[in-house]
Amino acid sequence: MKYRVAVVGVTGYSGLELMKIVLRHSAMQCVAVMASDATGEKPLGEIHPELRGVSDLTCVPQSPELLGSMQVDTVFLCTPNIVSYEIAPRILSQGMRVVDLSGSFRLKDGESYSSWYGFQHLAPELLSIAAYGLPEWNAKTIARARLVANPGCYPTSVLLPLLPLVRAGMLDPGSAIVCDSKSGVTGAGRSAKLDMLFGEVSENFRPYSPIKHRHAPEICQELGWDLGNFTFVPHLLPVNRGMLSTIYVSFQRPTTGRDIESELRRRYEHCRFVRLLGDDRLPELRAVNHTNFCDVGWRLTFGGRRAVIFSAIDNLMKGAAGQAVQNFNLMHDLEESVGLLEGESVAIHG
C-alpha cells in the first residue's frame, strides 16, 4: 500500500532533501509538490537539477484546497513559520495529516511566539494536539497524531544526548547547561542573504543569535529546564551541511563514564538512529552527513562532577527531512527506518 503525500515548500534545501527520500520511499506516492506564488509553475527538475530525470512532477502554487481534492493522506510542510501557521489549519480541516518542519507548533505556550518567532499565535487548540516529533521519545504520541511538529535541528542535537540524563535525575537541577553548537550554512535556508554569500562564509567562522536564539525555549521546554539556567550559542561553519553540539553539564554527584553510557544505552538500545560512541571516540560531521544518525560521545571532568557531551547530526536529515520521514513512518505504523537506510523495505508493526 502506498500513501498519497505532498510536499509544500519544495524549493528549499530541506524540501530537496525530503523529495530525495520521498521519491524512493516504498510506502509513499508523491502526488503534488508546491511552493509560494512567486515560484509559479515549474518542473521540479528545473527547481532542483538533481531531480532531472528522477521525477516528472511540476511544482505549483500552494493550495490546501487543491491538496484536498487530490485525496492526499499526509502533507509535509517545508514552509516558513508564518506560512505553516496559516495553512496547516486549512489542511487539517480537510482530513489530511501534517508533518510540519517549521517552528509554528513546537512551543506549547502560545504567548511565547510573539517574542521568539515574531507573530501572534492564535491557535491554542493546535498547539495542544501537536505531537513533538522526536521519535526516540514520543513514538506513541506521534503514531496517533494528525499534526506533528518536527523538532528544530539544533534542539535535536541537544535533546538526544541530554534527555536521558535529565530524566534520570543525574544533572544538578540548579546548575547551568551551556550548549555551544555549530551548523553548516544550509541550516540558514536557501533564500538570498548578504551574510550567507560565499565570500562571507568561506574561510570564516562566527557565532550568531547568541543567547536569544529561538531554539532555546524549545530545548528547555522538552528538557523541563529553567531557561534562566540555559545558555545556547549557535555558530556558522564554512561547510554546506552537518551540525555538531558541545554541551557542558554538572552532575548532582560524582559520575563515571560507565554511568553515562549505562543510562544512554538503556534509553536508546532499541533506537535505530542513535549511535553511542562512549568516552573513547568523538562525533564528527563526516560520519553522520547524508544519514539520519545522531552520534553521541562524552568526556568527564572535575572528578566526575562535570561532563562535556558531544553530538553530531546532519542538519538536513536527522535535523529536518530524515526525521520528518521517521515521523511519517510512525504515523503509518511502518518501521521507523523505511526509506532512510539503503535497501530498507516496508515492514508493518504488529
Which one-letter DSSP state was computed for residue 161? Answer: H
The pLDDT assigned to 195 comes to 62
Higher pLDDT, 345 or 136: 136
126 vs 146: CA distance, rounded Å: 10
* Minimum mean pLDDT range among 9-18, 35-44, 196-205, 206-215: 196-205
Higher pLDDT, 209 or 242: 242
The pLDDT assigned to 97 comes to 98
pLDDT band at 188 (very low <50, low <70, confident <90, very high): low
Q: What average pLDDT does the segment 287-294 reach? A: 97
- pLDDT, tens only, 4-48: 999 999 999 999 999 999 999 999 999 999 999 888 899 999 999
The pLDDT assigned to 173 comes to 92
Task: Calculate the CA dihedral of residues 129, 104, 162, 310 and round it to 10 degrees.
Answer: 150
pLDDT of 344 > 60? The answer is no
Cell numbers representing residue 217 in the block: 525555549
> For this structure, is 153 an active site residue?
yes
The pLDDT assigned to 334 comes to 97
- pLDDT, tens only, 104-113: 999 999 999 9
Quick one: which of 333, 329, 349 has its CA closest to 5?
Answer: 329
Helix axes 135-144, 153-167, angle to 10 degrees: 100
On the CB side of 248, how many CA atoms lie within 13 Å of its CA? Answer: 12
Quick one: which of 150, 202, 157, 176 has its CA closest to 14?
Answer: 150
Q: What is the largest CA-CA distance in the chain?
A: 63
The pLDDT assigned to 345 comes to 47
Q: What average pLDDT does the segment 296-315 reach? A: 97
The pLDDT assigned to 209 comes to 78
In order of their start, the domains of the chain are 3-151+318-331 (3.40.50.720), 153-315 (3.30.360.10)
- Name the active-site residue from 59, 78, 153, 220: 153
pLDDT of 343 > 70? The answer is no
pLDDT band at 167 (very low <50, low <70, confident <90, very high): very high
Q: What average pLDDT does the segment 117-134 reach? A: 96
Cell numbers representing residue 81 in the block: 513559520
Q: What average pLDDT does the segment 56-65 reach? A: 95
